[in-house]
Structure 1
Amino acid sequence: MKINEIMSILEAECLTGEHLLDDIKVEAAFGCDLMSDVLAFINGKTLLLTGLINPQVIRTAEMVDINVIVFVRGKKPDKEVIELAKKNNIILLSTNHILYTACGILYNNGLKGIPIRGGE
């Protein structure tokens, strides 16, 4: 799914990466506030939805090649986090939807969750 489509569906605001919106596609979504779970379950082409707005979110995304993060509940990170995302070419979006609703909207519009691995 293209990022422009995700922005429209979630009524999201783009905080960084406007120049990348047409180039990046995601294949799955993962909603989580535990960065240890992000490290354990995600690899590439996955959209991360989270309520966390600290630098660890960007560092975690960088480690697992996440290119797009959606902050839920209208949250917006501070300038330090935005600059870190820009440096790493990570698109940051913000939506007013809560995590559960944002995930459901994306799922209903065809973006699936990450595949389950071995009964975890």
Structure 2
Amino acid sequence: MRESQLSRVVGCGVVSILPRASIAPHLIVRAVVASGKGEAVMPKRVVRRLLEEAREFHQAARRVPQVHAEAGLTDREVEVLRMFADGHDTGYVAVQLRLSERTIKKIVQDLTRRLGLRNRTHAVSYALRAGVI
């Protein structure tokens, strides 16, 4: 297995990895028992690599707006749609978020175009069904 495949393998549920060169029956038993307890058995260099990848991922996630996974909506879009769902108009939303009405309209326009929605009402309905508001 290549190091570039580590996070994918761990993402699939693998909790123990043994280097081929040092595999011995007692190590296999130890890994199986530990895995059954929800523990991990991995060489230190593998753990280090996974931690580096997690750190890089976390730093990259901070640089981009959070997206509500399956719905494909940013935090700002959810915030705007939530206020619309509460019955507020564009002017009120703009004041509350300290943005211009034009910016609020642009946020809604961008998300409706990106997600193939018809209008603001359709966007609110979409967000409700997706469970993000």
TM-score by length of 2: 0.28
Structure with larger Rg: 2
Q: TM-score, normalised by structure 1?
A: 0.30
**Greater relative CO (CA pairs within 8 A, separation 6+):** 1
